[in-house]
Structure 1
Amino acid sequence: MVLVSGTSNPILSKKISEFLDIPLVNPQLRRFANGEIYCEIEKNVRGADVFVIQSTCAPVNENLMELLIIVDALKRASAKSITAVVPHYGYSRQDRKSAPRTPITAKLVADMMTVAGASRVITMDLHAGQIQGFFNIPFDNIFASPVLLEYVEKNLDRSNLITVSPDAGGVERVRYYAKKLEADLALIDKRRTGPNVAEAMNVIGDVAGKDCIIIDDMIDTAGTLVQAAKALRKNGAKKIYAASTHPVFSPPAIDRIAACEELEAVIVTDTIPLSESAKQLSKIKVVTTADILAKAIHRTFNHDSVSSLFI
């Protein structure tokens, strides 16, 4: 097994390397004067099973192109298999035609990864499950729920807890958390008026006097999260928490979370590295996914079941 790290999330790559007790190979990545990316793999990978760890987070296009170039370099170096480990799958929200004459960019990214030479993809908490069908190669969608649930069970009072979905699309995800936590479920009726613009309307479910935890797959500009927290407080909720896998945190997310008095804490994972301003905000709690991803990599290498991690 050979572990190759891109530059998007070096801390997570290092943790995965430590869990597996396998040294990281850092490819020589350089930029030409016009911004073109040059890659050279200095380790011999001929006949090896290679795992490339790279989140396609901001800057999305740079990190995606870097991943494709690394995979192409490995393919041309005669690697036996190349597994792209993409903790955060960029462009995952563009999974269908939402309006006339619009692209399905998640499918385009899938095609590019396959053509570049990836023989398998491992990712975490896809925004839309149907993206798995865009690939004609094996695809594993790993869940971050074990580490998020572990944090909730250890740090929050579950006796008065209710799980909340910020929109109708996330109900299935939240129902899973509600079952594991033996908690009730509530739903926020969210209306979108434009990209990254959301207005929370009605709360469906009884949250009065309850401690609420809003569960989502990603937090981008935090507009939905803040509106949801305000709607819950208006309906009588006591303490309000949030849990999300991918801390995208595009501006002005950090400012919104900091200014939101209703939110007690926001629990996220390390699939995307935090900015310096996010690290300074005490409300934001980070749990690592390195253990789960390392186990998924190890089981893939040994041809063992990955789904058994969650059963």
Structure 2
Amino acid sequence: MPALSEPKLIAGNANIPLARAIARRMSLHRGVAVDLVNARVERFNDQEIFVEVFENVRGEDMFIIQPTSNPANDTLMELLIITDALRRSSAQRITAVIPYFGYARQDRRAKARTPISAKLVANLLTTAGVDRILTLDLHAAQIQGFFDIPVDNLYAAPVFALDILHHFDGRLEDMTVVSPDVGGVARARELAQRIGCGLAIVDKRRARPGEVAEMTVIGDVRDQICIIVDDIVDTAGTLCKAAEVLCEAGAREVHAYITHGVLSGPAVGRIRESRMKSLVITDSIEQTDRVREAGNIRIVPTAPMFAQAILNIWHGTSVSSLFEADSLAPIYEGMYTRR
């Protein structure tokens, strides 16, 4: 497939540092300067969103970088309105780069008379004029089927595997990857296979949404370094409780690798006071100073992976090559060289 004209990046207000980091990485890969398109995304006094693009984008291959994180409704509307502005400006192709896909947890009808909001968001994006989606660790894989346009779902597991192999070199024999619930077993198993260690599960029963009634460890974690892996950490109640249960079951240390750090409400305080030695998240969501200053929270970058994925889409080459740690290691330029 022949490449379209130059790839151009435009960002909403949800995660400008990540957008700029992606632009810098693309500049490094291509050997030419890649800047964010000059535009303004503002609000009127009544909070209506207004977008104005100051550069010609006619016939261009556009990539909108905008996670739909808190405030989810505002960031989603920004994405839709930027898309409409680009479509009306005759952009040739519009790819929505959504590092964190909001509303993904509403992917099915769990009860009667409830919505499937993830499907509604998919319809909105398609109707607005998005031609392609690039995202990271969708909460449910079936959300890709909600779209009638191509969806590239990247995975944080290869980056996490590189990070674990680097920071826990020499201790992998005593390591166990833990799924915090039965539904996340496939994700945990994949990471366990990548780093060559065992697998355990924390089985939880909820009394009501957001409240965990009981937890049981399935598997032997005695004297093990436990790595809890999941896609989203929100209020961190379940995560901190799982760490406590693992320690009570004899775990030597507990760490967590979570893709999307929503970290709402009391989350940061809970994590600081928890029995976890560390929580590792990605920069898919822009974090507050309070999160960055927390001693046991560490953020790994996704810009190298997203920059390469955007270039692969622009060139018409494989994005699935980024699913492997061996492909990502050179992109991360020695950050995770084995000691």
Same fold (TM over 0.5): yes
Aligned-pair CA distance for 1:7 = 0.8
Aligned position for 1:183: 197
1:158 Cα deviation from its structure 2 partner:
1.3
For residue 302 of structure 2, the aligned residue among 252, 274, 289 is 289
Deviations 1:151-187 (A, max 9, x none): 1111123121000000011000100111111100000
Letter in structure 2 aligned against 1:39? V
Paired residues for 1:162-311 under 5 Å: 162-260=176-274, 262-311=275-324
> Structure 1: how far apart are the matches of 2:132 and 2:162?
29
Whichever residue aligns with residue 193 of structure 1, its letter is: A
Residue identity opposite 1:292 in structure 2: M
1:16 maps to which of 13, 22, 26: 22
Within the alignment, does 1:102 sit opposite 2:108 as a pair?
no
* Secondary structure in structure 1 of the residue aligned to 2:281: strand
Deviations 1:213-237 (A, max 9, x none): 0000010000110110011011111
Q: CA deviation at 1:196?
A: 2.4
- Is 1:154 equivalent to 2:160 in the alignment? no
Aligned to 1:31: 43
Q: Check the 8 A contact 1:174/1:215 in 2, yes or no.
A: yes
Shift of 1:200: 4.5
Q: Aligned match of 1:80 in 69, 92, 105?
A: 92
Contact 1:2 1:48 in 2 (8 A): yes
For residues 51 and 199 of structure 1, what CA distance do their matches in structure 2 show?
Answer: 44
The separation in 1 between residues aligned to 2:323 and 2:44, in whole angstroms, is 44
Q: TM-score, normalised by structure 1?
A: 0.98
The one-letter amino acid paired with 2:243 is: A
TM-aligned CA deviation for residue 273 of structure 1: 1.1
- Residue of 2, 5, 15 corresponding to 2:8: 2
SS at match of 1:237: coil
* TM-score, normalised relative to structure 2: 0.90
| Amino acid in structure 2 at the alignment position of 1:203 | V
User: Residues of 1 paired with 2:17 and 2:56: CA distance?
Assistant: 24
For 2:240, the aligned partner's letter is V
| Greater Cα shift, 33-42 or 153-162 | 153-162
Matched AA of 1:137: I
Instruction: Find the aligned partners of 2:214 and 2:24 in 1 and give their Cα distance.
Output: 42
Percent of matched pairs sharing the same residue: 46
8 Å CA contact 1:200, 1:231 repeated in 2: no
1:90 aligns to what?
A: 102
1:271 alignment partner, SS class: coil
* Number of the residue aligned with 1:142: 154
Task: Describe the superposition over 1:112-171 as per-residue Cα deviations: whole angstroms up to 9, x where unpaired.
Answer: 000011000000000000000000001110011122111111112312100000001100
Task: After superposition, give the CA deviation of every residue in 1:69-118 in whole Å (9 maximum; x if it has no partner).
Answer: 00010000000000000000000000000110000000000000000110
For 1:6, the aligned partner's letter is G
Partner of 1:25, secondary structure, is coil
**Alpha-carbon distance, 1:193 to partner:** 2.4
What are the superposed Cα offsets for residues 17-55 of structure 1, whole Å, 9 maximum, x if unpaired? 001111111421221111100101111000000000000
8 A contact 2:279–2:298 mirrored in 1? yes
Show structure 2 runs of 5+ residues with no match: 1-6, 28-33, 325-339
Give 1:122's aligned residue: 134
> Is there any run of 5+ residues in structure 1 with no aligned partner, and where?
none
Report the alpha carbon displacement of residue 197 of structure 1 after superposing the two structures with TM.
Answer: 2.2
Shift of residue 268, structure 1, vs aligned partner: 0.6
User: How many matched pairs?
Assistant: 310
Give yes or no for contact 2:262–2:285 (8 Å, CA) kept in 1: yes
